[in-house]
Structure 1
Amino acid sequence: MTSRRGFCRKPRYRRYRLGRVNAAIDENHLDESPRGLTIMAVVGVFVGILSGMFGIGGGTIIVPALVWLGLTQRHAAATSMMAIVPTAISGVISYAVEGNVDWIAAALVFAGMFVGGQIGSWLLSKLPEIALRWAFVAFLVFVIINQAISNPSRDSHIDMHPIMALGLIAFGVIAGVLAGLLGIGGGAICVPALSIIFGASDLIARGTSLLAMFPNSITTSVANVRRHMVHVKAAVIIGVIAAITAPLGTWIAGAVTPRTGAIMFTVYLSALLVRSLFVAFKAMRRR
């Protein structure tokens, strides 16, 4: 009798596991047709320009595009993180050539973000999804209002001293918590804060933001590759094209006035807010 149970359960368990694996493969099939590759290339162009202009990683564009092309949310996010690595490096080089990167501030912010990210990831497993979505909406509204009323300067810089260094680390922890909790990149948080709170010029804020975010992108991507969550081909296509076009975005950022740049960033965040509101209301209707 015991033997019979063992022979009955084992095949069922195997069939169950195989079924789950096959289902995961079916729902995670990326469109690699000429149409799909063209879409990835176009996404890379836009991500590079926006990354250079605003000091962001571009995940808010990459992830929805990859989900649309067939990846699951988890695999799209992992692939996006890998694509951000060459994009951020290209953007940092473009800003650094013009002297618009504060290397010490970026290191301090990254140190704080590394700790805060772990806290945010822990909170992510405890809070309900609907609360997270509305927290993201509230965060975007706060940033948009601050961007709209701010008047960034192109000549200012971060005046580094011990209290400022502690403030940057503390801010990094908060930014890391928000990033881990809300599932967003560092740019939307770091750029406004570095400019409004810490006195960096609009260009230094963007260059420093890119520098602070890409070490975390590298370490996360290594872990994601080991877990087989990255579609390497898609990440390379998007990342390389974005890296090529990022200097164009950096040039645009330097060519426009600080106020115009702030308005453009506000428009980008407003578009992200509309999308986030749609997703939040959709999640509420499912409850």
Structure 2
Amino acid sequence: MSEVSINENHLDESPRGIVIMAVVGVAVGILSGLFGIGGGTVIVPALVWLGLTQRHAAATSMMAIVPTAISGVVSYAVEGDVDWAAAALVFCGMFVGGQIGSWLLSKLPELVLRWAFVLFLVFVIVNQAMSNPSRDSQIVMSVGTVIGLIAFGVIAGILAGLLGIGGGAICVPALSIIFGASDLIARGTSLLAMFPNAITTSVANTRRRLVHVKAALIIGIVAALTAPLGTWMAAAVTPRVGAILFTVYLCVLLVRSLWVAIKASRR
């Protein structure tokens, strides 16, 4: 499959489209701080609705995630809710996985990308329902933990590059369920691990002419300004309430993404 030029997209850049992108940025910032995600699960469907293909929306989303994640990390780090060593290990894996995901993004058919997004959401919802979040636990380092964090990072990086997400939607549940992090540390660590990967993946996507830079900057800058509000909200609710809110949010996205994928399959 030949690479597609971004000029073949028809993003709505009218005043209405710009306002929608800004509103998306506000929502993404709050959700990023609240759930420790990059916001790709909101950005990608919104950009597709505004005229980008799934492929270009995913690539543009990754660039928008960079400022969003940086803002969220700062907010969590101020409260001491970041495991720097765990984040570094996850990033090492995500760096490799992100390049693989970016390459797959430029090669796979549009319909495959839509259904991959649906399957990803189902997986995360099931994992989230199984979680029993705590606010006091921490990641205990061992040889097995180090290997596990790197291996998990590769998987998260592939999904991030392929689906245009930061990786937080899979990192946060995994850091809590598999590696024993508290809910806040899982979110802060997830954001720290994802933004370097978002940078490297965005560079690869830009070289493949898959990124709409203007849309990424509008959404990313607005999201960075509102992320601290989401971080404050995360600390204000109990871990269980936060997990329930995250699951509800993902279920809403699943219904919409499933509907879009079914419609695309019928064409």
* TM-score, structure 2 normalization: 0.87
- Write the deviation string for residues 90-149 of structure 1: whole angstroms up to 9, x where unpaired: 000000000111111011111112223345556668877666655543443333233224
* Residue 164 in structure 1 maps to residue 140 in structure 2: no
Superposition pairs for residues 161-240 of structure 1, below 5 Å? Answer: 161-180=142-161, 182=163, 184-240=165-221
Q: 2:72 aligns to what?
A: 91
How far apart, in 1, do the equivalents of 2:198 and 2:180 lie? 26
Match of 1:204, SS state, is: helix
Q: 2:97 aligns to what?
A: 116
Question: What's the offset of the Cα at 1:213?
Answer: 0.8
1:75 partner amino acid: H
Q: How many residues align?
A: 264
The correspondence for 2:232, drawn from 218, 234, 251, is: 251
* TM-score, structure 1 normalization: 0.82
How far apart, in 1, do the equivalents of 2:113 and 2:16 lie? 34
Which deviates further from its counterpart, 262-271 or 216-225? 216-225
Which deviates further from its counterpart, 241-250 or 172-181? 172-181
Q: 1:100 aligns to what?
A: 81
C-alpha spacing 1:134/1:106, structure 2 compared with 1 (3 Å): same
Q: 1:276 aligns to what?
A: 257
Q: CA RMSD in A?
A: 2.6
How far apart, in 1, do the equivalents of 2:165 and 2:59 lie? 13
Match of 2:135, SS state, is: coil
Match of 2:80, SS state, is: coil
How far apart, in 1, do the equivalents of 2:118 and 2:203 lie? 30
1:65 partner amino acid: A
Which deviates further from its counterpart, 212-221 or 71-80? 71-80
The correspondence for 2:31, drawn from 50, 53, 72, is: 50
Q: 1:154 aligns to what?
A: 135
Match of 2:132, SS state, is: coil
* Residue 68 in structure 1 maps to residue 69 in structure 2: no
Which deviates further from its counterpart, 40-49 or 166-175? 166-175
How far apart, in 1, do the equivalents of 2:80 and 2:260 lie? 39
Q: 1:59 aligns to what?
A: 40
Unaligned runs of 5+ in 1: 1-19
Percent identity of equivalent pairs: 83
- Write the deviation string for residues 25-61 of structure 1: whole angstroms up to 9, x where unpaired: 4x43433332222111111100100011111111222
Which deviates further from its counterpart, 75-84 or 218-227? 218-227
C-alpha spacing 1:182/1:223, structure 2 compared with 1 (3 Å): closer
Unaligned runs of 5+ in 2: none
How far apart, in 2, do the equivalents of 1:141 and 1:76 lie? 21
